[in-house]
Amino acid sequence: MIKGADVNINTPLGHQIGLTVFKPKSSNQKSIIISSATGVLQYYYSKFSVYFSELGYTVYTFDYSGIGKSNKNTSQLKSSIVDLKTWGENDQASVIDYAILQNTDHKLILITHSIGGQILAFNKNVSKIDTIITVASQSGYWKHWKGFERLKMITFWYVLIPVLTPLFGYFPAKKIGLFENLPKFMAYQWQRWGKHKDYILSEFKSDELQFKNFDRSMLALSFPNDEFASKSSVDWLANQFVNAKVDRQHIAPNDLNIDNVGHFGFFRKKFQDSLWNMINDWIINKV
């Protein structure tokens, strides 16, 4: 089985990003970068990465600054000044530059999970990508949810982040059983957006963002019963790519005779013969 190799790359802001590179035994001249969900370690995507590497893709996973292999310790996390703009403009963009430099003849596919698609707003390298696949990438505005899920989003934006972050000097997500801990300025910016119907556009004008600079094929996926990415929230983000050729698919279990996917299921190995194969076929047809 193919194993990933750890690499550290320097970025324009001076901090290092920890990558894992999965190299195929025989290359198909295509590279995939996986841009993680908020606070999700890159290790979560390793089985997906191995599968696609065995198909011939060179696959890169990475942790955003302040997370996992891109963070040394709690002290560094407390002193971090990175925000979501940094994650897109510096971290995600730097990984794209690295992947292109390593394989100049490859087609480049970016697969984003959740917030990974949002931070494309700040990625000045977006025009260097040959195709984008977003998996449950969405707006976080709380009114995109209903019922108990809406209440959870309201609690997150109006209670958990503003109360816990100043107490710890970072958002202590691990302590409350959510995900990895987050840098404070990233958490505060995320909170500001989540309280506003225009989300990112509440803080930045559309002409300041990079969405409009991607004009190639794009697949935007969502799934029923996703407590973190409702259909309307994914629609909102997909609609920001005004010049892309967007293939918007909301996939119900009955569509592919599969189990419920939710927010995190797509990258689980049990979907390799269904969703993963579908993605590979889509890439072959588009790139």
Evaluate whether 220 touches 229 at the Cβ level (below 8 Å).
no
Per-residue model confidence as pLDDT tens digits over 240-276:
999 999 999 999 888 877 888 999 999 999 999 999 9
pLDDT at 71: 86
219 DSSP β-pair partners: 133, 247
> Between these two residues, 111 and 256, which has the higher pLDDT value?
111
pLDDT of 115 strictly over 90: yes
pLDDT at 2: 84
Q: Look-up: residue for tokens 């295509």?
A: 30
The one-character DSSP state at 182 is B
**Mean local confidence (pLDDT), 102-118:** 98
**Mean local confidence (pLDDT), 185-212:** 97
**Mean local confidence (pLDDT), 21-27:** 97
Per-residue model confidence as pLDDT tens digits over 32-62:
999 999 999 999 999 999 999 999 999 999 9
CATH number of 5-141+205-286: 3.40.50.1820
How far from 146 is each of 75, 122, 232, 245, CA to CA, in Å?
A: 38, 29, 11, 30
Question: CA 144 to CA 19: how far, in whole Å?
Answer: 33
pLDDT of 185 strictly over 90: yes
Per-residue model confidence as pLDDT tens digits over 65-109:
999 999 878 888 999 999 999 999 999 999 999 999 999 999 999
Considering the chain, what percentage of its residues have pLDDT values greater than 90? 91
Question: CA 259 to CA 278: how far, in whole Å?
Answer: 15
pLDDT at 81: 94
pLDDT at 62: 98
Burial group, residue 56, by CB count within 10 angstroms (0-12, 13-18, 19+): middle
Tokens at 268, concatenated: 């689980």
Q: Look-up: residue for tokens 């087609």?
A: 107
pLDDT at 253: 80
Listed in sequence order, the residues at least 6 apart from 153 whose beta carbon sits closer than 8 Å to its beta carbon are: 140, 142, 145, 194
> Between these two residues, 3 and 110, which has the higher pLDDT value?
110
pLDDT at 74: 87
> Between these two residues, 183 and 257, which has the higher pLDDT value?
183
Tokens at 121, concatenated: 């707003």
Q: What does the mean pLDDT of the chain come to?
A: 95
